[in-house]
Amino acid sequence: MLIALLVVVSPLFGVVGSEMVGYREPLDLAAEMLGLEEWDLEWTPFADYRVPGLPDTIGYIVAGFMGVGVILAIGVLLAKLSARQE
């Protein structure tokens, strides 16, 4: 339950909070100063933690739940593999 709450609340600190204080990613600032264009090395389904068709904040939450789900699934899989070896 706590993880779900943290996933839902995290966009408030990561997006809204950074906009309130005017934070910008240092690498983005350096790229702008050098006149570099944004270039993606590979295609990803959730580029910049956004879900196509959803508002950014909701997309961040969905991506967060998916990330937590993947990590939990890996943990469960490793626990089962470890239990089999014993």
Q: What is the pLDDT of residues 48-69, one digit of tens each?
A: 777 888 888 788 888 888 888 9
**pTM of the full structure:** 0.62
The total number of structural domains in the chain stands at: 1
**Amino acid found at 43:** W
Question: Residue 27 in contact with residue 39, Cβ under 8 Å?
Answer: no
Q: What are phi and psi of 40, to 5 degrees?
A: -90, 130
Give the Cα separation of 27 and 20 in Å (integer): 19
% of the chain residues with pLDDT over 70: 98
Give the Cα separation of 4 and 71 in Å (integer): 14
pLDDT attached to residue 9: 83
Highest mean pLDDT among 9-13, 19-23, 25-29, 38-42: 25-29
Tell me the Cα Rg of the chain: 18
Task: Tell me the residue range of the domain where 75 lies.
Answer: 2-85
